[in-house]
Structure 1
Amino acid sequence: MSVEPGVSQQAVRQAEAAADAAAEAAGVTVRQAEPRDLAAVIGLFERTWGVGHSPDRSMLLALDFAGNTVMVATKAGKPVGATLGFLGWTDGIHLHSHMAAVVPWQRGSGVGYALKLFQRALCLQHGVADMRWTFDPLIRRNAHFNLVKLGAEVVRFLPDFYGRLDDVITGSDRSDRFEVRWRLDSPRTLRALAGELPPVWSGSDSLSLDVDFERLRADDPAEAVRRRDESRTLFQNNLSRGMRPELTENNDYIFTPDVPDRRPAPD
């Protein structure tokens, strides 16, 4: 594939190699979805969020036809993961990675990582060096995946972004979200993808992620509401004064004025 201006051939080759290695490590094949895959993609999305919480086939077909990243991961020929992303231009051209689903028995096996790295490679092939998405800031494993494993950075807090979702994951909880930006060829991203540990961030304000928030929502809804309220105030106050959330070595939030590309201190 020819490379669009603005991205080096070397960056694209390295991204393609990283995506291939991630797929091999997860034991999957990742590719653009074809029309015959769309029923399985919808099934994966609905298995994750519930019936009626996937774009319908015609919408997925149109997005795929237009060249957006409707991608599927297969293992032994069977779909085990899927992702959906589409181009946006708010604050610059980027891919908005909207949905990603992995079958329960493959979660934590690297399938989601492989899907993200294939999205990254495809973006760089087309001269798009920026991906963005949203995630629930109280889900610790997602925070670690996004900020540490991928090297994305939080750029905005969006309280109750989607309104009431009533899906399998969120239920009646408020849909507070962080928007993250993944600068696909930045020093921060390259260090994260190489498996390097992030720096020790400076800062004084923090938030512990010491509970499984998804289980808390089910077991103690009142406490979940209290934690949601507490976190919302903390996020709004800190981001409004230019402090960014990062993760400590214990995977708790710390709010820092440090630049996102800060290098770790030498040993």
Structure 2
Amino acid sequence: MGTESSVAVGPGLREQAEAAAAAAARAAGVTFAELHTMSEMNQAAALIDRVWRPDSGAAMIAPNFLKVLSRCGGYVVGGFRDGRMAGVCVGLLSELGLHSHIAAVEEPLRGAGLGRAIKLDQRAWALRRGIDTVTWTYDPLISRNAYFNLAKLGAVAAEYLTDYYGAMNDEVNAGTPTDRILVRWDLAGTHVRRTLESGTAVPAVDGAVVALDAGPGGGPVLGLRDARRLLVGIPADAEALRVSDPGPAAQWRTALRDVLSTLMANGGRVIGFTRDGFYLVEHPEQKDHG
């Protein structure tokens, strides 16, 4: 990855983005529409709650706040299949462009291309408005999200945020620190365009040294950190591990925070995520190992 080589957001790029978004929507069997009415906001809030499952009885996002975001120019979009809202994504304008705050996809459609279709719709929406950067956060322990964001979309891990949201009361995040990776998606950048065209961007790991990996019992094992290129592993399914074995799950959170956040804070750049669950981090100030 490295420094992005960007192009101006001109009509050609916007047309390409619109075509890619339309193709992804067709493949997923959905149509997208901006939401405006209170009825739509109520449906969107209910869908978000079904997916994230807050335990306090309070909505993850109040319908009236969704209405405000929509009215103020934010991205409040529903994905519809057979006339029913099956997905929703919410973003707000920020100093960098658009910050995508939360998304929800109904259980039967997860893994069926709707998530990718939402992001490509979001990209086309942003470019249509002259916005060339989208940011969002994700849990760095969730392998499928890391792979989707970094390898499939071509987003760049910009910052490690420790316990970013504090304690949360939804079923997905309850009982665990809310560490997040902030990603930056340079919509007109060369890397993003090439990744979307090819379908994936998996980095070569030649010469990389393992800094964190799973041990024989499944828990985290620390390795070396004094090489220029480092592999930082995470569990194959951290969400299942939290349920089946909370102890090792908590150990992974601490170990990943120690290794990845320290590397990034000290100048290390995450340059990709491998198919088998490793962040590849490059630290220019270190020498190649061996």
TM-score (norm 2): 0.83
Partner of 1:256: 282
Partner of 2:52: 49
Contact (CA 8 Å) 1:12, 1:125: kept in 2 or not?
yes
Partner of 1:22: 24
Query: What CA distance in whole angstroms lies between the structure 2 residues aligned with 1:64 and 1:177?
Result: 25
Residue type of the alignment partner of 1:251: G
Are positions 1:243 and 2:249 aligned together?
no
- Note the C-alpha offset of 1:99: 0.4
- Note the C-alpha offset of 1:201: 4.7
Partner of 2:247: 222
1:95-129 CA-to-partner distances (Å, cap 9, x unmatched) read 00000000000000111111111111111111110
Query: What CA distance in whole angstroms lies between the structure 2 residues aligned with 1:46 and 1:142?
Result: 20
Greater Rg by CA:
2
> How is 1:22-41 mapped onto 2 (pairs within 5 angstroms)?
22-35=24-37, 36-41=39-44
> How is 1:125-144 mapped onto 2 (pairs within 5 angstroms)?
125-144=128-147
- Superposed CA RMSD: 1.5
Partner of 1:174: 177
Give 3-state SS (helix, strand or coil) of 1:233's partner.
helix
Partner of 1:69: 75
- Note the C-alpha offset of 1:207: 2.1
> Which of the residues 202, 209, 213 maps onto 2:234?
209
Moved more, 187-196 or 205-214: 205-214
Runs of 5+ unmatched residues, structure 2 = 1-7, 210-229, 285-290
Contact (CA 8 Å) 1:50, 1:168: kept in 2 or not?
yes
Are positions 1:200 and 2:226 aligned together?
no
- Note the C-alpha offset of 1:211: 2.9
- State how many pairs are aligned: 250
Give 3-state SS (helix, strand or coil) of 1:232's partner.
helix
> How is 1:79-158 mapped onto 2 (pairs within 5 angstroms)?
79-89=85-95, 93-158=96-161
- Note the C-alpha offset of 1:196: 4.5
Quickly say closer, same or farther: Cα 1:215–1:196, change in 2 above 3 A.
Answer: closer
1:22-41 CA-to-partner distances (Å, cap 9, x unmatched) read 00000000111131311110
- Note the C-alpha offset of 1:248: 2.3
Contact (CA 8 Å) 2:21, 2:117: kept in 1 or not?
yes
- Note the C-alpha offset of 1:47: 0.8
Please identify runs of 4+ aligned residues in structure 1 that moved more than 6 A: none
Residue type of the alignment partner of 1:62: V
Give 3-state SS (helix, strand or coil) of 1:97's partner.
strand
